[in-house]
Amino acid sequence: MDSSDLKSPSYYSNRDLSFLEFNQRVLAQAQDETLPLLERFRFLCISCSNLDEFYEIRVAGLKQLLDLGTLLIGTDQLPIDSQLEAIHGRALQLVHDQYECLNEVLLPALQREGIRLLQADEWSPEQRDWLREYFRHDVEPVLSPLGLDPARPFPRIQNKSLNFAVQLSGKDAFGRDSELAVVQAPRSLPRVVPLPANPDGGYVLLSTIVEAFVDLLFPGMEVRGCFQFRVTRNSDLFVDDEEVDDLRRALEGELAHRRYGAAVRLETGEDCPTEVTEFLLQQFALEPLDHYAVPGPVNLNRLSALYDLVPRTDLKYPPFTPAVHRRLLAAPDLFAAIRQQDLLLHHPFQSFAPVLDFLRQAAADPHVLAIKQTLYRTGAESPIVDALVAASHAGKDVTVIVELRARFDEEANIELSNRLQEAGAHVMYGVVGYKTHAKLCMVVRRESDGMRRYCHLGTGNYHLQTARAYTDYGLFTCQEEIGADVHEIFLQLTSLTRTPTLRRLLQAPFSLHEGLLALIEREQQLASQGRPGRIIAKMNALVEPQIIEALYRASCGGVQIDLIVRGVCCLKPGLPGVSENIRVRSIVGRFLEHPRVYCFGNDGDAKLFCSSADWMERNFFRRVEVAFPILDRELRDGIIEDLKLYLRDDRQAWLLGPEGRFERVLPPGQGRISAQQELTERYAAAAQTSLTT
């Protein structure tokens, strides 16, 4: 097929509508009766948090583009105004499904388990008395009711904060009439309040408490109504890298404004009167299309606190302990183990602890001269950073590339960069105009036969918490060519050098995109010669149009392509004459599927890369990314077996159809194979076997 034909907008799904479809799959976990009840509740909260971020970043960005006069941005050629209208319609259905799941499914199921989230009309007299005192002593002192009149304009409302519009009648102490007041709930107040076990126990939402006792804030006035509302604001930070002298200071200035970016969405309780809703929309300069009236708390994602408050392990996933890699059980010297053979970790099925041990051992080893590391997301209290600080105090030359612009981790990254600098480490912020998203660590060690570079390359962040919740691969190697490539990349990030010529790694923004196009074309050429062309790729998102077009061409040429895409997918599989040889599936389960793996058949001698990069424009052209080959045949074949297992999954898998919609492979509870569960059991059994032999 001619390349121009493969650019038809009808062959591409809209990126943002595809994200909403992904979030529907997350919500489906909350609706799945085969899962533990509190885990279902947690998935509901995750779907709400995902939707918040979608509005803060994606919808906010579309609104900005529309204001600038931009009409089209995507390969699907859907005009931005039509896209915003379609988003609203799809999001309305999603929000309806979220609250239906909460009110009609999860809350009654929790009630049957003795976990009661009580409304005001369900309080016993003793509970009401206790909550009144709680309001007086813990809530009222930190509330600041704000009456609205010409001398008291509408207050600044923080992004995603819980607020109440209070309708009043009567006169205050100064004889002033004020028909409306605003009460803002500080973030310091817990959103879920546990009641004393004696006599009845249960839980109450902060919003319910404020609504019940709001009259105590307005003595002498009549409260005619109290209505929740919440506004979502543009939370994308803008810093012109080329116009600032100090990126850290510029970001610190932007962070102060994030809470008050342009409003993009208004949520109110469904009982909010029309006149109050219209007033709020006017104050936030929003249109009716930006309003969502919900039958429940407007801050639904904050209900996630209930998961930790309820001490019911029987309603949660069974405790999970990551297995220790069998080769490390009796090999405390990581450097010796890596010299013997490359070492591959598969998180969270295998422990992330060896990565931390790698740094700690390097910090204490007198033969180690230098450590270089990239940090994208690592957490505010990070043992990784502690190890790097210890290494610097021990006299090692420590260089850390800290990505200050990791979205929503900017503040934590500024703090950890300060810690590292105070310890004497060299801290750099990457390259102007590009986020450093690659996951790299290199230890330089003097040994009897000369200097040796030990490297860790990963698909996920150096973050201990997410390493227990996200699936990822991490490779330890001291292979000379890979070490030399990692060295060249660090030189590029810390000094002024030309584009390096890499021997083994593919790097964005230089060789990754064209390297993948060449690998896809190679499979197409093999298929044209009558040999099997084969591609299996796993990633979080598939958006970039040139890659999609190349996959379409390969499919037309007879290449068999299986894609495992967790989230957004703009490619449409199964289109007659275009993508009949492409299959797309998504896995949504206990662990968040996070690794990027690209496998090309290569005429029977597979080439396999693990990477930090999704197949998106930003990863190829606006970030520093790395794809690293798995050269050890045993490790490569093991990853291929993992991919094949995911392709057999029929319990947590969804298949994408040519119309751009995902459907479950089988209804909940009917499948036999869960890749995540099988991997958990497989790695645990391997570790146990190593302990007993």
Q: Quick one: CA dihedral 137, 139, 143, 145, positive or negative?
A: negative
Q: How far apart are CA 371 and CA 445, in angstroms?
A: 9
Torsion of CA 501, 338, 447, 629, to 10 degrees: -10
The per-residue DSSP string of 594-652 comes to --EEEEE-GGGS-EEEEES--BSHHHHHSEEEEEEE--SHHHHHHHHHHHHHHHH--SS
Q: Considering only CA atoms, which of 542, 544, 506, 74 is closest in space to residue 561?
A: 542
DSSP 417: H
Judge contact between 325 and 340, C-beta under 8 A.
no
**Residue holding tokens 């227990």?**
468
- Backbone dihedral region of 118: left (phi > 0), alpha (psi from -120 to 50 degrees) or beta? beta
- Name residues whose C-beta falls within 8 Å of residue 199's C-beta, 6 or more positions apart in sequence: 124, 126
Residues 6+ apart with CB under 8 A from 588: 25, 26, 28, 29, 566, 652, 654
Whether 474 contacts 456, CB under 8 Å: yes
Nearest-angstrom CA–CA distance, 164 and 42 = 26
Does residue 400 sit in helix, strand or coil?
strand
Q: What is the DSSP letter of 242?
A: G
Radius of gyration of the chain (CA): 27
Q: Which residues are catalytic?
A: 437
Give one word for 332, left, alpha or beta, with left for phi > 0 and alpha for psi -120 to 50.
alpha
Q: How many angstroms separate the CA atoms of 487 and 455, rounded?
A: 10
Q: List 376's β-bridge partners, or say none.
A: none
* DSSP per-residue codes, 495-526: S--PPP--SS-EEETTTHHHHHHHHHHHHHHH
Apex CA 142: angle with CA 139 and CA 143, to 5°? Answer: 85
- Rounded to the nearest 5°, which phi and psi values hold at 283? -65, -35
Q: What does the DSSP 8-state code read for residue 186? A: -
